[in-house]
Amino acid sequence: MSHPTRPTLAASAQPRSPRLCLRGALLAALCLCAWPLAGLAQSASDVADKREDLKELRSRIEHLRKELSASEESRADAADQLRQVERQISEGERQLRAMQRDQMRLQRTLADLNRQARELEDTLQQQQAQLERLLYRQYIQGSPDALRLLLNGDDPNQMARDLYYLSTIARSRSELLADIRITLKKQKALAEDTRARVAELAEVEAKQKAQQAELVQQRAERQKILSQIARKVQAQKQEIGNLQRDEKRLANLVDRLTRLLAEQARKPPPPRPSPGAKAPPASAEPENQHLPTATSGSFARLAGQLRLPARGQVVGRFGAPREGGSTWKGLFIRAHAGSEVKAVANGQVVYAEWMRGFGNLMIIDHGAGYLTVYGNNDSLFKQVGDRVQGGETIGTVGNSGGNQESGLYFELRHQGKVLDPMKWVSLK
């Protein structure tokens, strides 16, 4: 540590200016102002009951998933080879999306901390300038005591005014020093908080970069597997009865979920309403240009007002024949891979898992026995128990499950029975 050079005798003999004396006094005052800041304890919100309900729901649905998986046929399916890597891709995308939200939150926090730091710096400069003026006045006035003023024979009234003035300056200086200490404490705490947030942001960005690299590798692995089994997948899809088995598996899952949800609600579902909207005129491949928005009220009242969960061409229509000797139980919307999939209405996720024939599959419960089904997703952003709003992004379009083209499979069910989605949605 370097030390200032000692002044010479000649230099020390020179009179010191009031401004230099003031600066010295100010620095001495500020040296006393470093104080630790006690952390503020945050009280936890009262969510124990909701967490317990969610834990129970997830546990029961996980048990159901395992039970269904164990009861599936043991025969090999070519698309099953994609199961693990497509699960990993979906989970990786979900984690990446969560990291991006954390990154945005931290960036907003840092911007706010920088704003607070600038405000504190302005406050401190104003306080220091005010203290400097008070010290200068005190220096000019000197520090006479009452006895010396009395012996000098000064006017007692003037002496009283001078003493009051000097005491006011001293009191103001003391208050300003206390304010400066508080400001410096805040600055120190703010600097520590900023350093912690910067380190947290750097960690999130590093994890994000690693996750992106891992996703690239997983997608390359999926493409390699898909190339190897493409012919086998296509051959199995053309087998008579193959689609029926997939559809029966999904129907079984929906039935079990419906019973589970009805049991949990402990009340009989209301009677099924009759949708008033008519299906649009038949066309080869109608185009959907709209996405869902926030909804309110019961799901049954949304008949004819819903939007399809993804933009694209409706190439599979409810009830129309499909390859493999079956008919469409829902819609297939041809869409670009990676485009957003939206929840059609408010609800709760009751299934988010890979399923043979449907890939990464999500099912949302809208209450009163209504479920919507979203299949062949590239990734799922929500987990079992998550509440979603109409129009909220729940995943991305893909071709998981061995599908040959990218798109979204969408079903609407009530009490386990399939409904024609086109009677519930509007493409206009």
Domain boundaries, the chain: 103-226, 240-266+275-428
Looking at residue 58, what is its pLDDT?
74
Looking at residue 43, what is its pLDDT?
42
359-367 and 347-355 strand pairing? antiparallel
Contact 72, 360 (CB under 8 A): no
User: In angstroms, what CA-CA distances link 252 with 68, 69, 385?
Assistant: 9, 11, 20
Sorted by sequence, the CB contacts under 8 Å of residue 420 that are 6+ apart come out as 279, 318, 319, 412
Stretches in the chain below the pLDDT threshold 50: 1-46, 73-75, 240, 268-282
Separation between Cα atoms, residue 364 and residue 344, nearest integer Å: 9
Q: Which amino acid, 367?
A: G
Sorted by sequence, the CB contacts under 8 Å of residue 264 that are 6+ apart come out as 57, 60
Contact 391, 340 (CB under 8 A): no
Taking the alpha carbons at both ends of the chain, their separation in whole angstroms is 76
312-316 and 287-288 strand pairing? antiparallel
- Cα dihedral sign, 243-245-251-254: negative
**CATH number of the structural domain 240-266+275-428:** 2.70.70.10
Helix (H) or strand (E) segment spanning residue 84 = helix 83-141
* Phi–psi pair at 379, nearest 5 degrees: -145, 150
Q: Which residue in this structure is represented by tokens 């899809």? A: 237
Separation between Cα atoms, residue 168 and residue 252, nearest integer Å: 85
Q: Which residue in this structure is represented by tokens 């053309």? A: 238
Closest CA to 356 of 67, 86, 61: 86
Q: Per the structure block, which two tokens stand in for 362?
A: 């999500």
Helix (H) or strand (E) segment spanning residue 178 = helix 156-237
CA dihedral 238, 375, 358, 227 (to 10 degrees): 70
Sorted by sequence, the CB contacts under 8 Å of residue 390 that are 6+ apart come out as 292, 293, 294, 295, 342, 343, 344, 345, 346
Helices H / strands E in the chain, number of each: 7, 13
Contact 396, 376 (CB under 8 A): no
Q: pTM (2 decimals)?
A: 0.63
* Phi–psi pair at 340, nearest 5 degrees: -75, 145
Q: Which amino acid, 327?
A: T
Instruction: Specify which residues 397 forms β-bridges with.
Output: 377
